[in-house]
Amino acid sequence: MVTSGLVLAGVGLLVLGFVDANTGYGNVWWRLAVVGVGFALAMSPLTGAAIQAVLGAVVQTGVGLGSAFVVAGAVTLAGFALTGLWLTKSL
């Protein structure tokens, strides 16, 4: 699933490279749809695998499942803070 998603996203991004100001909407929407479907197929499993790997490593160090949840919570809140700062700067 990840491989096919990355292929779709890559192809969609490549064909988006040929869009210019004169390209009609009918010729753009399908390219965006291909990219969107590709990223949807790829990103969710990749994110899950990354989280599983990190939390699995924390649990395997012997500190326990509670510590894995603390690490997951801290990383999630750090992501919240970073995206919050980034979004406020871009406004």
Domain that residue 70 falls in: 2-90
Task: Give the Cα separation of 90 and 85 in Å (integer).
Answer: 9
pTM score of the predicted model: 0.63
How many domains is the chain built from? Answer: 1
Work out the pLDDT band at 25, boundaries 50, 70, 90.
very high
Provide the pLDDT for residue 55: 84
pLDDT tens digits, 51-85: 888 888 888 887 788 888 898 899 889 999 999 88
Report whether pLDDT(35) > 90.
Answer: yes
Which residues, 6+ apart, have CB-to-CB distance to 51 below 8 Å? 72
Nearest one of 17, 11, 8, 14 to 39, comparing CA atoms = 8
